[in-house]
Structure 1
Amino acid sequence: MAATASETALSPFDRLMPRVYVRQILCFPSTDPNALRALKDGLAGVALDDLFTGNNLSSHIEYAQLKADNFPPAALMASGIVPADTQPPYPDPAPVFRARLSLVKGGFLLCIALHHSTTDITGFDTLLKIWASNCRAGSFRPVGFDPSWMDRRVLLEPHNTTRTPPHNIPGLLHIQTPAEASRRVTTRSSSEEWQTAIFYFPQRGLRDLKRKVNELLVSDGTAGWVSTWDALTTLLWGAVLGAELNDHDHNPTTTHLSKATSTIGFPVDFRSKLHPPLPQGYLGAAFAMTSATALRDDIISLSNDAGSSSVPAVARVATAIRASLNRVNDASVRDTLAYLNHNPDQPSIILGPPHDGISIVSWADQSVYELDWGVAVGRCDAVRLPKLPNKRYPIVLPRVPDVGDDGGGLEVIICLEKSVMERFASSGPIARYAVLRCIS
Structure 2
Amino acid sequence: MGTIREGHQPPLIQDLKVTVHDTSVVLPAQPTPRRSMFLSNIDQVLNFDVQTIHFFGPHPDHPPDAVVRKLRDALSQILVHYDFLAGRLVVDPAGSGRLVFDCNSAGIGFVVASSEYNLDDVGDLVYPNPAFEQLVTKVICPDDKPLGIFQVTSFKCGGFAIGIQTNHSTFDGLSFKMFLDNLSALAADKPLLFEPCNNRELLAARSPPSVTFPHPELMKLDMLPCSGADSSAPVFENTTEHLDFKIFRLTSEDIACLKRQAEDGGVKRASGFNTVTALVWRCKALSAGQGEAGDDERLSTLLYAVDIRSRLSPPLPQSYAGNAVLTAYATASCKDLRAGPLSLLVEMVKEGSARMTDKYARSAIDWGELYKGFPNGEFLVSSWWRLGFADVEYPWGRPRYSCPLVYHRKDIILLFPDIDPALQNDNVNVLVALPPDEMAKFQSLFHKFLQESV
Query: TM exceeds 0.5?
Result: yes
Q: Distance in 2 between matches of 1:5 and 1:156?
A: 18
CA pair 326-298 structure 1, distance change in 2 beyond 3 A: same
User: Does structure 1 residue 350 correspond to structure 2 residue 374?
Assistant: yes
Contact 2:278–2:342 (Cα < 8 Å) also in 1: yes
CA drift at 1:78:
5.6
Aligned to 2:127: 72
Q: Distance in 1 between matches of 2:448 and 2:142?
A: 40
CA pair 45-184 structure 1, distance change in 2 beyond 3 A: closer
Q: Distance in 2 between matches of 1:16 and 1:267?
A: 14
CA pair 247-20 structure 1, distance change in 2 beyond 3 A: farther
CA pair 168-393 structure 1, distance change in 2 beyond 3 A: closer
Aligned-partner residue type, residue 227 of structure 1: S
SS in 2 for 1:199: strand
Please provide the CA RMSD for this pair.
3.4
CA drift at 1:77:
3.5
**For each residue in 1:278-326, what CA deviation from the matched residue of structure 2 results, as whole angstroms up to 9, or x when unmatched?**
122211111111210123123235xxxxxxxxxx611001101111111
Aligned to 1:417: 435
Aligned-partner residue type, residue 252 of structure 2: Q
Matches within 5 A, 1:186-225: 186=237, 188-189=239-240, 193-217=242-266, 224-225=268-269
Q: Which has the higher helix share?
A: 1
CA pair 3-203 structure 1, distance change in 2 beyond 3 A: farther
Q: Distance in 2 between matches of 1:122 and 1:98?
A: 19
SS in 1 for 2:77: coil
CA drift at 1:181:
5.0
1:53 is matched with which residue: 80, 104, 111?
111
User: Does structure 1 residue 16 correspond to structure 2 residue 61?
Assistant: no
CA drift at 1:396:
1.2
Identify which of structures 1 and 2 has the higher relative contact order when contacts are C-alpha pairs closer than 8 Å and 6+ apart: 1
Q: Distance in 1 between matches of 2:238 and 2:108?
A: 34
CA drift at 1:392:
4.5
Q: Distance in 2 between matches of 1:177 and 1:248?
A: 34
**For each residue in 1:370-395, what CA deviation from the matched residue of structure 2 results, as whole angstroms up to 9, or x when unmatched?**
11101xx2111112344543434211
Aligned to 1:297: 335
Aligned to 2:5: none
Paired residue total: 384
Aligned to 1:391: 410
Aligned to 1:335: 363
CA drift at 1:138:
2.7
Q: Distance in 2 between matches of 1:246 and 1:62?
A: 46
Q: Distance in 1 between matches of 2:224 and 2:291?
A: 19
Q: Distance in 2 between matches of 1:257 and 1:128?
A: 46
User: Does structure 1 residue 379 correspond to structure 2 residue 395?
Assistant: no
CA pair 291-429 structure 1, distance change in 2 beyond 3 A: farther
Aligned to 1:102: 153
Matches within 5 A, 1:82-161: 82-85=136-139, 94-106=145-157, 107-135=159-187, 137-138=188-189, 143-147=192-196, 149-156=197-204, 160-161=206-207
Aligned-partner residue type, residue 76 of structure 1: A
Aligned to 1:36: 68
Where does the alignment leave 5 or more consecutive residues of structure 2 unmatched? Answer: 1-30, 80-85, 87-106, 228-233
CA pair 392-98 structure 1, distance change in 2 beyond 3 A: farther
**For each residue in 1:126-147, what CA deviation from the matched residue of structure 2 results, as whole angstroms up to 9, or x when unmatched?**
2111112222x235xx612314
Identical positions, percent: 21
CA drift at 1:368:
1.2
Q: TM-score, normalised by structure 2?
A: 0.74
